[in-house]
Every structure is written in structure tokens, then in C-alpha cells.
């Protein structure tokens, strides 16, 4: 199936999930995860009208999007992978939304780069909902302190993001993220991937990050 067909299929599923949950279909943004995908598939997605993409690594994102940025001025690029502080400069330069803010040192660095470059991407905090040591994200118990730190630094956080543990059913984790976002008055929730985005929509996702269901298996 071509990328355009997958897009149609996914959009139909988004509309259906929204209808079922009594939500407006425009309240869910599809973020097309283009990491490790061949260039021609990315082009197919652009030709089919997609403009919002997610990447894990800054270097690969530059390869995919550095030149295309000027061809498609309405692109919206999201960082969805762990961000090292020494990549903050490139991340601020290239991306529109940074979804993986998770520690004070990164907030410091992002703030500095925003000021220097006079560029102001949007920010989400990643929450380590399964409290997995190998994963990025702030522990749920440490979230309020980090949000305070961001507020004091003048970094406006507009949502939460999570990647639930691979081996558990995701619904409890999605519900936890929804609860945390409500508690701290954050309007956006980035959760749900190829296998579980409908469930995420049922639990309030405003951004779903879909890779393989759109593009096929990664290289």
C-alpha cells in the first residue's frame, strides 16, 4: 500500500476514535514519525499533504529536513527522542516543537539557545510513566518540581509526552499522563503510536506519533 493510502486509513481511524469519544477530529494532530524512513517515502507523505513530522535524532532530522524546510515553509518538526544538552543548539535551530524536555540542565541549555537565536519552539515535558531506568523522561513524582523550574526559567511548557513500557497494556499509562496534564493545567498530550493511537485518543491524546503504520517498517 502506498503512503497516501496509509494516511487515509489512519485519518479514518482518527475520525472514528474521536467520534466514539465525543471529540472533535481536529483536536488530534497526527505527527508522522519519519526516523529511519527512506527519502522517497517522506516525499510521498509530503505530496499527500502531511506537514507535521517527528524525528528521534537531531543529526538524522537535519538530513531529512534541512533542505526541505525552505521548500515547505509550513512544516512543523517535532523532536521525540532523547535530547543531549550539547544538541540543544541544533534542536532549537531546526525544530518547532521539542517534546522531550526532562531535566533542569536541558531547560537551562534550551533557554540559552532560544535567547541567543531569538527562536522560540514549543515545549512538552516527557514523563517516564513506567519509571523505567533505561528510558528518558522525568519521574512522575518529580514532575511538579521540573514544571516549576521551567516556569521560573521562562520556558513555557504546553503539554506532556510519554512512551509507555513496551510489554504492558498502555491504557493505564495513558490515563496517568492525562491525569497529570489535568492536574498541572497543560492542554496537550502526546501519546499513542502505530499500535495504540486509538486507545490514546480515547484517553485524551492531542498528538499521536505514528511511524510504521504510515511508512512501513523502518530500515
Residues ≥6 apart with Cβ < 8 Å to 217 = none
Q: Does 85 bind ligand PLP (CB under 6 A)?
A: no
d(CA 105, CA 107): 5
Interaction pattern, residues 17-56, with ligand PLP; x per rule: CB under 6 A: ----------------x-x--------------------x
Helices 104-117/143-153 angle, 10° precision: 20
Q: C-beta of 193: minimal distance to ligand PLP in Å?
A: 4
The cell for 10 is 489512519
The cell for 69 is 524546510
Q: Which of residues 104-163 bind ligand PLP (CB under 6 A)?
A: 163
Q: C-beta of 118: minimal distance to ligand PLP in Å?
A: 28
Part of the chain binding ligand PLP (CB under 6 A), chosen from 41-49, 69-77, 146-154, 204-212: 204-212
Could you tell me which of 199, 203, 195, 149 has the C-alpha nearest to residue 176?
A: 203
| Strand, helix or coil for residue 26 | helix
Part of the chain binding ligand PLP (CB under 6 A), chosen from 18-26, 141-149, 178-186, 209-217: 209-217
Chain positions contacting ligand PLP, by CB under 6 A: 33, 35, 56, 80-81, 163, 193-194, 209-213
Amino acid at each position: 500500500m502506498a503512503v497516501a493510502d496509509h494516511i487515509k486509513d489512519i485519518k479514518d481511524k482518527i475520525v472514528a476514535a474521536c467520534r466514539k469519544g465525543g471529540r472533535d477530529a481536529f483536536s488530534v494532530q497526527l505527527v508522522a514519525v519519519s526516523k529511519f524512513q527512506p527519502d522517497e517515502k517522506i516525499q510521498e507523505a509530503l505530496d499527500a499533504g502531511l506537514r507535521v513530522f517527528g524525528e528521534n535524532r537531531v543529526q538524522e532530522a537535519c538530513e531529512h529536513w534541512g533542505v526541505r524546510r525552505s521548500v515547505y515553509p509550513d512544516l512543523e518538526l517535532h523532536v521525540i527522542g532523547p535530547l543531549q544538552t550539547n544538541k540543544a543548539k541544533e534542536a532549537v535551530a531546526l525544530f518547532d516543537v521539542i517534546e522531550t524536555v526532562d531535566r533542569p540542565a536541558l531547560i537551562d541549555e534550551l533557554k540559552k539557545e532560544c535567547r541567543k537565536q531569538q527562536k522560540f519552539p514549543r515545549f512538552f515535558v516527557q514523563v517516564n510513566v513506567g519509571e523505567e531506568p533505561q528510558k528518558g523522561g522525568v519521574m512522575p513524582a518529580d514532575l511538579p518540581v521540573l514544571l516549576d523550574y521551567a516556569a521560573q526559567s521562562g520556558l513555557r511548557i504546553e503539554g506532556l509526552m510519554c512512551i509507555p513500557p513496551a510489554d504492558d497494556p498502555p491504557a493505564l499509562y495513558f490515563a496517568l499522563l492525562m491525569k497529570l496534564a489535568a492536574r498541572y493545567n497543560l492542554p496537550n498530550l502526546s501519546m499513542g503510536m502505530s499500535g495504540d493511537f486509538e486507545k490514546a485518543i480515547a484517553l485524551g491524546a492531542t498528538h499521536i506519533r505514528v511511524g510504521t503504520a504510515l511508512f512501513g517498517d523502518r530500515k
